[in-house]
């Protein structure tokens, strides 16, 4: 856990202050400009489902791309977190189609006691991945249940929040050679399990969104925007 995420985790891994870190793909792309293929994780509606995403992650093409991130000091392990499709959300069914301005922000605790519905809409729910958005809505309504009748939010699957786990080869070298293979395989399996847990949590939250009569769930935009098929 960090009070503040490092601005360049790759440098921290290289100098030895980090042994293992999950780097978001947009962050990694900024740090490694020559790896433009990472931008595929930011294309709207590229992936149609978690199953589609898993086929992409498991493909030979994607594994080769993952391998291309390896250096003399850093070993890429796996797509440790991929899921939690970001939501495009809107006030009163006014769909926000300005995808370039869609941002995701890390989980934060907010002071809902002093927050109006308008402030919530403007500052929080338009910027959250759908699986975190549902949690924040529930927290708001615990303190201000009367606001339930003022919320009408559309959520549409948009982009994928993806992370790639990177490990220090120096840290790996401290593990006896006869145990390294089993250590790495166990670690990668843990990270893959984390990904599957995220899928299940996201599905449950989406189902909760669908059942709430005061919160809209809109898939209509998928039909209006040309979906780009991922390399399978």
Q: Is residue 231 part of a domain?
A: no
Tell me, rounded to whole angstroms, the distance of Cα 213 from its chain centroid. 27
Confidence of residue 79 (pLDDT cuts 50, 70, 90): very high
Quick check: 225 pLDDT over 60? Answer: no
Higher pLDDT, 25 or 201: 25
Confidence of residue 99 (pLDDT cuts 50, 70, 90): very low
- Tell me the CA end-to-end span of the chain in Å, nearest whole number: 34
Q: Give pLDDT, residue 3.
A: 55
Residue with tokens 């994780």: 41
Q: Is residue 229 part of a domain?
A: no
What are 31's two structure tokens?
Answer: 């740090």
Closest listed residue to residue 151, CA positions, set 173, 170, 126, 131: 126
| Candidate from 47-56, 68-77, 119-128, 135-144 with smallest mean pLDDT | 119-128
How high does pLDDT run on average in the chain? 76
Domain count, the chain: 1
**What CATH number does residue 217 fall under?**
3.40.190.170
Q: How many angstroms separate the Cα of 34 from the Cα of each of 69, 80, 224?
A: 10, 22, 32
What are 157's two structure tokens?
Answer: 């699957």
What are 129's two structure tokens?
Answer: 């991945």
Q: How many angstroms separate the Cα of 123 from the Cα of each of 96, 104, 128, 214?
A: 14, 12, 10, 20
Q: Is residue 230 part of a domain?
A: no
Q: Is residue 50 part of a domain?
A: yes
Q: Give pLDDT, residue 204.
A: 77
Q: Give pLDDT, residue 215.
A: 57
Q: Is residue 2 part of a domain?
A: no
Residue partners of 163: CB distance under 8 A and separation at least 6: 22, 23, 24, 25, 79, 80, 81, 82
3-class DSSP string for the chain: CCCCCCCCHHHHHHHCCCCEEEEEHHHHHHHCCCCHHHHHHHCCCCCCCHHHHHHHHHCHHHHHHHHCCCCCCEEEEEEEEEECCEEECCECCCCCCCHHHCCCCCCCCCCHHHCCHHHHHHHCHHHCEHHHHHHHHHHHHHHCHHHHHHCCECCEECCCEEEEEEEEHHHHHCCCHHHHHHHHHHHHHHHHHHHHHHHHHHHHHHHHHHHCCCCCCCCCHHHHCCCCCCCC
Quick check: 104 pLDDT over 60? Answer: no
Q: Give pLDDT, residue 18.
A: 93
Residue partners of 210: CB distance under 8 A and separation at least 6: 217
Q: What is this structure's pTM?
A: 0.69
Edge-first strand order for the sheet with 74-83 is: 20-24, 161-168, 74-83
Q: Is residue 143 part of a domain?
A: yes
What are 148's two structure tokens?
Answer: 């339930």
Confidence of residue 121 (pLDDT cuts 50, 70, 90): confident
User: Tell me: the pLDDT tens digits for 39-50?
Assistant: 888 776 778 788
Q: Which domain holds residue 114?
A: 9-224
Quick check: 132 pLDDT over 90? Answer: no
């Amino acid at each position: 856990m960090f009070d503040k995420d490092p601005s360049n985790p790759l440098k921290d891994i290289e100098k030895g202050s980090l042994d293992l870190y999950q780097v978001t793909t947009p962050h990694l792309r900024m740090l490694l400009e020559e790896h433009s293929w990472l931008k595929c994780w930011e294309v709207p509606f590229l992936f149609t489902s978690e199953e589609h995403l898993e086929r992409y992650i498991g493909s030979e093409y994607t594994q080769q791309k993952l391998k291309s991130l390896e250096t003399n000091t850093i070993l890429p392990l796996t797509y440790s977190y991929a899921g939690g499709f970001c939501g495009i959300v809107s006030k009163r069914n006014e769909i926000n189609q300005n995808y370039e301005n869609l941002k995701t922000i890390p989980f934060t605790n907010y002071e809902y006691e002093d927050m109006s519905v308008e402030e919530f809409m403007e500052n929080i729910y338009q910027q959250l991945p759908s699986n975190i958005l549902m949690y924040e809505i529930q927290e708001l309504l615990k303190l201000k249940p009367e606001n339930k009748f003022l919320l009408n939010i559309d959520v549409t699957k948009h982009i994928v929040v993806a992370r790639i786990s990177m490990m220090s080869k120096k840290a790996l070298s401290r593990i006896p050679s006869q145990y390294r293979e089993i250590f790495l395989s166990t670690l990668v399996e843990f990270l893959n399990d984390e990904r599957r847990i995220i899928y299940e949590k996201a599905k449950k939250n989406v189902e909760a969104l669908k059942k709430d009569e005061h919160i809209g769930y809109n898939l209509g935009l998928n039909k209006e925007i040309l979906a780009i098929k991922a390399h399978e």
